[in-house]
Structure 1
Amino acid sequence: MLAQSQFEFQPDFQPAVEDALRFFKAGLGTNLHSVYVYGSVARHEAVSGQSNLDIVVVTHRPFEDNRTTLLNTIQWRFQRGFPHVKGLNVKLALAKEVASLESIFSWGFLLRQCSECIYGEDLGECFGDYEPSWEIAKFWNDDVAEWVKAYRLKVAKATTAAEQSHAQVMIAKKLLRASYSVVMHKHKRWIDSPVACGDAFLLSHPEKQLEIERLGILLSGRVIPKRSVVGLIDGFGQWLVKEYQRTEFKIG
């Protein structure tokens, strides 16, 4: 099924989505298969000055010869034309890779469950409705230990408030979503908003109220002392890694 020619997002982000679509249609021509928006913009929860625009671009064929130029150009356009958009995150994929059985937990889940097709044939329709399960939670959060290690270092090495704020927001999003993944198989419902993930997690782990509140502070972008951020990552982050491993052992 072809995506609707008209799509509507929040007023602050609608022009940015339209410009990105025009750019990829012009830059890729007949090689462009479809375009999708995911993340806070797709959920209509984006905040001006704080939220990224997350896009999936699917092509018929690889375009390695002009890939770097194309992506650098659109990043430059966004920095100049849409300064209220925190960043532009573009994922690239080939149509034949997306519409395959091997992609059921990766591209299939992302496009079917988390994205809105704004152009072309909606490959999300190749997949059936997903039931919340440990298998999906595990696939998308199996790297939580690596995130804890990497973002602990990023916070510690940040030399500007902007760098630290960005690192705080990124690790807060990951930990809040990963926390819900531990209990998602019990709740049997999809949640993507980091704040909502934390709230749902607390229904099963009310003893972690303080940690979730502190992750909410990191998520706001407010810079706080590094030792406090590192302490939260070391404490709650490592607890979450162990809880994740324990749940995997129980469920298998």
Structure 2
Amino acid sequence: MSLSVINPKQPFQPEFEPLIREVLACLKGGLGANLHSVYVYGSVARKSAIAGKSNLDLVVVTKSSFENNRATILNTIKWRAQQGHPQVQGVSIRTALVSEVANLDSIFTWGFMLKHCCVCVYGESLGDCFGDYVPSWEIAKHWNMDVEGWISVYRSKISQASSVKEQVAAQIVIAKKLLRASYSLVMYRDKRWFDDPVECGEVFLKYHPEKQLEIERLGILLAGRAIPKRSVLGLMDGFGSWLVKQYQKTEFRIG
């Protein structure tokens, strides 16, 4: 059974369309003929973004490197969003070269992302270069086998956070990662794909109902509530360690 794709014809939520147009104008003006294609992913792509809370997440693909003006272009986009678009928390931009994306080595990374997690908003979609994907352990491990590293990095960020705002921002990121990694652990059994972290947690519980409390607590972190650091770290240490071990076991069993 092939995995579903995001409907490219479904319009974006009206709150976010002006910013997308402005970003595209900035990219076309700054990159010119070097710009190959632009993609929106995340909650804005899924049309489930929350005004004032969500980010605009983008992938920018170019024909050749643009290191000479990369910082200027990306910082200008982020600054304009911050100044004139309070409907987003910020703009996150990932960049890649056409040669990196349209490559057999990128089947489970860029290929899967552009095919199933993105909507092309400019240029020729490279997602069309890849065939249909089916649920597999290969996809799951390519996207979430790094969960142990994420836990380590965000444990430090939360421990060292000097403000509630900084801590909450880190909590939200690691909660998303842990919820998505939870579902990816069972994706090869469930035969579907979810990118929304809440859905990921809900479906994961069908296979691991004993983790109800941990998933509920991750939902609290995702909602942006300020939680005592020791409680957040305890959840990351306990559930995170369990998740890492499950990935290791599954990889050993499936290969």
Letter in 1 for 2:231: S
Change (3 A) 1:73 1:7: farther
Counterpart position of 1:27: 30
Q: In angstroms, what is the RMSD of aligned CA positions?
A: 1.3
Structure 2 portions without partners, runs of 5+: 1-7
Letter in 2 for 1:216: G
Determine the C-alpha separation between the residues in 2 that align with 1:63 and 1:147.
Answer: 28
Determine the C-alpha separation between the residues in 1 that align with 2:210 and 2:36.
Answer: 47
1:55-111 deviation digits (Å, cap 9, x = unpaired): 111111111111111111111111101122112111111112211111111110110
Instruction: Work out whether 1:124 is the aligned partner of 2:124.
Output: no
Counterpart position of 1:45: 48
Instruction: Work out whether 1:226 is the aligned partner of 2:226.
Output: no
CA contact (8 A) 1:7 1:118 kept: no
Letter in 2 for 1:130: Y
Determine the C-alpha separation between the residues in 2 that align with 1:230 and 1:46.
Answer: 27
1:8 to 5, 8, 11: 11
Determine the C-alpha separation between the residues in 2 that align with 1:40 and 1:54.
Answer: 8
Counterpart position of 1:179: 182
Instruction: Work out whether 1:167 is the aligned partner of 2:154.
Output: no
Instruction: Work out whether 1:251 is the aligned partner of 2:228.
Output: no
Letter in 2 for 1:28: L
TM-score normalized with structure 2 length: 0.95
Determine the C-alpha separation between the residues in 2 that align with 1:216 and 1:7.
Answer: 28
Determine the C-alpha separation between the residues in 1 that align with 2:148 and 2:86.
Answer: 33
Counterpart position of 1:135: 138
Counterpart position of 2:115: 112
Letter in 2 for 1:14: E
Q: In the TM superposition, what is the alpha-carbon distance from 1:7 to its structure 2 partner?
A: 7.3
Instruction: Work out whether 1:36 is the aligned partner of 2:28.
Output: no
> How many correspondences in the alignment?
248
Determine the C-alpha separation between the residues in 1 that align with 2:138 and 2:9.
Answer: 35
TM-score normalized with structure 1 length: 0.96
Shifted more, 10-19 versus 195-204: the winner is 10-19
Instruction: Work out whether 1:56 is the aligned partner of 2:36.
Output: no
CA contact (8 A) 2:26 2:73 kept: no
Determine the C-alpha separation between the residues in 2 that align with 1:153 and 1:55.
Answer: 27
Counterpart position of 1:75: 78
Counterpart position of 2:94: 91
Determine the C-alpha separation between the residues in 2 that align with 1:183 and 1:6.
Answer: 30
Change (3 A) 1:7 1:200: closer
CA contact (8 A) 1:9 1:44 kept: yes
Letter in 1 for 2:143: W
Letter in 2 for 1:189: R
After TM superposition, where is structure 1 displaced by more than 3 Å over at least 4 residues in a row?
Answer: none
Letter in 1 for 2:114: L
Determine the C-alpha separation between the residues in 1 that align with 2:17 and 2:164.
Answer: 29
Letter in 1 for 2:212: Q
Give 3-state SS (helix, strand or coil) of 2:108's partner: coil
Counterpart position of 1:150: 153
